[in-house]
Amino acid sequence: MSHESFFGIHDLSFATTEYVLSHEALAEYNGTEIGKYHIGIGQRSMSVPAADEDIVTLGAAAAAPIIARHGSGRIRTVVLATESSIDQAKSAGVYVHSLLGLPSACRVVELKQACYGATAALQFAIGLVRRDPDQQVLVIASDVSKYELDSPGEATQGAAAVAMLVSADPALVRIENPSGLFTADVMDFWRPNYLTTALVDGQESVQAYLQAVASSWKDYGEQGGRALDEFAAFCYHQPFTKMAYKAHHHLLNYAGQETDKADIEHAIGRTVAYNATIGNSYTASVYLALAALLDQADDLTDRPIGFLSYGSGSVAEFFAGTAAPGYREHLRTEANLEAIARRKPVDHARYRELHERSFPADGGEHLTPQQTTGPFRLAGLSGHKRIYQAR
């Protein structure tokens, strides 16, 4: 390409679940003061998957509008990031590839590193598109956040998928060099193969996150990154939305800046709207923050946006992107609001029933009840094989 080339996010679409549990319902059940949820962690409700929804159906539902708008002819790679994988060997992306009817001349892979995986997928995708700017890469972040019932982490649960089309000359966000990187072996959050719910040390996890914020920012500066005061807003991974505020306060402290509440609200406030009502969506979280920012902000054209992607265990990356000229013409604001508004409220008893539902491990024939009104569903299990359907 003869002129200066940009690479990044050409389109972004997300999907969430059929059901929603309000934090009022959770608080009423467990006797918690509602302020602990609304103010303490900054959460209003959590998306709850139907019996026939999982990371595949959510991922395909998120990506389908992108395929409808742009077609699939230039997509040569699909990268699906998740930490709630459905199989130890087969990529969930292969099922999504099939449901979307993508070309067979395509590479598909699944990436895992806790909540950081989608950022790795985005950076890998940019590398592929740089090599051949005529190609596009479909990046999907899809997760179901699940903790033990009545555990401290329960109130942060959620589920969603974000799909991003990565291309040259992107219509939404131009991703910049460099990145600030950080990895440390920390046991703050993990899920052994023999468990279906995650283990978390809440206090350790907050400290590990804050260490990663400072360390990845330090490396970003050493790599020649932008100055802190250049950024119009910051998108943080949000295991709960209050964590974005804690993280930005910590970054300002580390950088020797004033930690004025109004300034922090200006930098963070428009990024939390979707995560506050969806709950933690793991790999999708930081890109739901981006969707909320772009949908709500005044014109951000050519303004730098900071991204802090964190995945427990732990890996973090700080990088920057700028909103492309004309980006507002390509937003999906109405569809995004509808994805959230369409969820049907469930009471606490129904939520517990859905939470505890699992397939037997006998490899037999097990059909799922038809609950989702989304475009794709998990029809059941047969001979140890998951059966998916387009509705």
Contact (CB, 8 A) for 55 and 115: no
CA dist 8 and 287 (Å) reads 13
CA dist 335 and 162 (Å) reads 13
Looking up tokens 């609950």 gives 371
Does residue 315 belong to any structural domain of this protein? yes
Q: Which of 10, 18, 53, 83 is catalytic?
A: 83
CA dist 93 and 79 (Å) reads 7
Of the chain, the end-to-end C-alpha distance in Å amounts to: 41
Count structural domains, the chain.
Answer: 1
| Predicted pLDDT at 223 | 98
Contact (CB, 8 A) for 141 and 118: yes
Does residue 17 belong to any structural domain of this protein? yes
| Predicted pLDDT at 245 | 98
| Predicted pLDDT at 203 | 87
User: Residue positions in the annotated binding site for (3S)-3-hydroxy-3-methylglutaryl-CoA?
Assistant: 147, 246, 280
Six-digit token string for 116? 């950081």
| Predicted pLDDT at 3 | 47
| Predicted pLDDT at 200 | 87
User: Residue positions in the annotated binding site?
Assistant: 147, 246, 280
Q: Which of 237, 248, 250, 355 is catalytic?
A: 237
| Predicted pLDDT at 4 | 66
- In the chain, which ranges are E strands? 7-16, 19-22, 45-48, 75-81, 107-111, 136-145, 158-168, 173-183, 189-190, 199-200, 233-236, 304-311, 315-323, 344-345, 366-367, 376-382, 385-390
CA dist 211 and 354 (Å) reads 36
Does residue 352 belong to any structural domain of this protein? yes
Nearest to 282 by CA among 150, 184, 162, 166: 162
Please tell me what DSSP assigns to residue 343: P
pLDDT tens for the chain, residues 1 to 391 = 334 689 999 999 999 999 999 999 999 999 999 999 999 999 999 999 999 999 999 999 999 999 999 999 999 999 999 999 999 999 999 999 999 999 999 999 999 999 999 999 999 999 999 999 999 999 999 999 999 999 999 999 999 999 999 999 999 999 999 999 999 999 999 999 999 888 888 889 999 999 999 999 999 999 999 999 999 999 999 999 999 999 999 999 999 999 999 999 999 999 999 999 999 999 999 999 999 999 998 999 999 999 999 999 999 999 999 999 999 999 999 999 999 999 999 999 999 999 999 999 999 999 999 999 999 999 999 999 999 999 8
| Predicted pLDDT at 391 | 86
Which domain does 92 fall in, by range?
7-390
Angle (CA) 256-258-260 rounded to 5° is 150
| Predicted pLDDT at 347 | 97
Does residue 2 belong to any structural domain of this protein? no
Is position 348 annotated as part of the catalytic site? no
Q: Say which CATH number the domain at 300 has.
A: 3.40.47.10
Looking up tokens 């940019």 gives 126
Is position 115 annotated as part of the catalytic site? yes
Six-digit token string for 105? 């001349």
Is position 366 annotated as part of the catalytic site? no
Does residue 1 belong to any structural domain of this protein? no
Does residue 330 belong to any structural domain of this protein? yes
Does residue 112 belong to any structural domain of this protein? yes
